[in-house]
Amino acid sequence: MPILGRALLDALRQHGARELFGIPGDFVLPFFKVIEESGVLPFYTLSHEPAVGFAADAAARFRGAISVAVATWGAGAFNLVTPSPAPTPSACPSSSSRARPACTNALAAGACTT
C-alpha cells in the first residue's frame, strides 16, 4: 500500500474527516486503491464532479465535520468549484501545479482551504 496515500487518509481522519466522496480519474486511481484497501474512511463514488462537491458540502454541513471531495486535476478539480457557493470545511490539496488555479479561485471565493 502506498505510504503517502495512507498517510493522507490517516491525517484526514485525525483532523475530523468523516467520509470521502469521489469520482474515478486517471491520476487518482492509485489513491482510490489505497482508500478501498485501507478502510480508514467510508468512500462514496459518484458519477459527476459537481455531484461529488455537492455531496461533500452537504455531508460537511449536516455533520458539522470535515468531508472530503476527491477528483483528478484539471477539469475534475475545476468542476468541484461549482458546488461551493459558501465557505465550508473543505480542502483542495493538489500536488499538480496545473490544478492550483482551480483551488486559487476557490480560495478567493472562500470556498476551500489548503
Record the cell numbers describing residue 25, joined without a space.
Answer: 480519474
| Residue 113: inside a domain | no
Domain that holds residue 70: 3-108
- pTM confidence score: 0.69
| Residue 87: inside a domain | yes
Q: What SS3 state is found at 20?
A: strand
Q: What is the pLDDT of residues 33-89, one digit of tens each?
A: 999 999 999 999 998 889 999 999 899 989 898 899 998 888 888 888 877 655 544
Record the cell numbers describing residue 39, joined without a space.
Answer: 478502510
Beta bridge partners of 70: 22
Query: Which CATH number do you get for residue 97?
Result: 3.40.50.970
- Return the higher-pLDDT residue of 80 and 6: 6
Could you please report the per-residue DSSP string of 32-96?
Answer: HHHHHHH-SS-EEE-SSHHHHHHHHHHHHHHHTS--EEE--TTHHHHHTTTT--S--S-B---S-
Number of domains present in the structure of the chain: 1
